[in-house]
Structure 1
Amino acid sequence: MRFRRYPLCALDPARRRALLTYWNGERLFPALPNFLAYVLRAYLAGRVVL
């Protein structure tokens, strides 16, 4: 799981906080680690706008 979270550590604090807020606030998959990996990939690909 560490390799999945690495892009999260590379973000600046404001974007990291916004991304984690989005991830924790999701209704269907709140705080699910696999969903965090999906959100990170989607954000880096430009499919999620914060």
Structure 2
Amino acid sequence: MKIQVTLLSCTQLSTDSNHCLCTQPIQTFKASLLIENAHIGGILHLQLGIA
């Protein structure tokens, strides 16, 4: 089982604090670190898919 992670950069937070408006996807090998930061800072919107 592989886990695919898509990280999207956010230009602006929406009215719903749990989501944000996202632009181009960010591709990085440090996905886990960005996920950690996103959970803390709430500045990244994460889309997780299991393939």
Larger radius of gyration: 2
Q: Where is the helix percentage greater, Structure 1 or Structure 2?
A: 1
The structure with the largest strand share of the pair is 2
The alignment's TM-score, normalised by the length of structure 1, stands at 0.33
